[in-house]
Amino acid sequence: MRHLFLCAVLACMDMQTAYSEEISSISNQKINLALEDCVLVKYPVPDKGIVCSNYERALRLSKKLDNLEMHKSAWGPFVAIGDYKGRKIFISCAPVGSGAGLVFTELFVAGAKYIIRYGSDDVKSPPASDAYLVKIVDEADNLFGFNIQSGVDPEEWGQSIEASPQIVQALISTAKLKGIVHETRICHHLENYHGLRLPHKFSLERSDRINAILEHLNKNSKSASYDMETAVLFRVAKDFGLHAATVLQTVNKENAKLSAYEGENYQQAREVEEGIFFNYVLDALLEI
Maximum pairwise Cα distance, the chain: 81
Q: How far apart are CA 282 and CA 65, in angstroms?
A: 10
Q: Count the domains in the chain.
A: 1
Task: For residue 48, list its beta bridge partners.
Answer: 114
| The predicted structure's pLDDT at residue 27 | 52
Which CATH number does the domain housing residue 73 bear? Answer: 3.40.50.1580
Do the domain assignments include residue 40? Answer: yes
d(CA 238, CA 233): 9
d(CA 270, CA 247): 16
CA 162 to chain centre: 12
Decide if 105 is inside a domain: yes
Model's pTM, two decimal places?
0.89
Residue of 55, 63, 47 whose CA lies nearest to 278: 63
Q: Which domain holds residue 142?
A: 33-287
20: Cα separation from own chain's centroid: 26
Which value, in Å, is the radius of gyration of the alpha carbons in the chain? 20
pLDDT at 25: 45
276: left (phi over 0), alpha (psi -120 to 50) or beta: alpha
Instruction: Report the phi/psi class of residue 48: left, alpha or beta, with left for phi > 0 and alpha for psi in -120 to 50.
Output: beta
* SS3 state of residue 161: strand
Concatenating the DSSP letter of every residue in 18-85 gives HHHHHHHHHHH------GGG-SS--S---SEEEEES-HHHHHHHHTT-EEEEEEE-TTS-EEEEEEET
Per residue of the chain (288 residues), give pLDDT as tens: 444 434 443 444 444 444 444 434 445 688 899 999 999 999 999 999 999 999 999 999 999 999 999 999 999 999 999 999 999 999 999 999 888 999 999 999 999 999 999 999 999 999 999 999 999 999 999 999 999 999 999 999 999 999 999 999 999 999 999 999 999 999 999 999 999 889 999 999 999 999 999 999 999 889 999 999 999 999 999 999 999 999 999 999 988 888 988 999 999 999 999 999 999 999 999 999
CA distance 120 to 123: 9
Task: Specify if 1 maps to a domain.
Answer: no
**Does some domain include residue 222?**
yes
Residue 215 is assigned to a structural domain of this protein:
yes
Q: Give a yes or no: residue 52 inside a domain.
A: yes
Q: What integer pLDDT is reported at residue 9 of this predicted model?
A: 36
State whether the Cα torsion 185-54-253-132 is positive or negative.
positive
CA angle 75, 76, 81 (to 5 degrees): 120
End-to-end CA distance of the chain: 34
Domain-located, residue 28: no
The answer to whether 78 and 71 are in contact (CB under 8 A) is yes
Q: What is the pLDDT of residue 220?
A: 87
Helices (H), 150-218: 165-178, 193-197, 204-217
CA 266, CA 248: separation in Å to the nearest integer?
Answer: 16
- Asked whether residue 10 is domain-assigned, the answer is no
Buried b (16+ CB within 10 A) or exposed e, 85-103: eeebbbbbbbbebbbbbbb
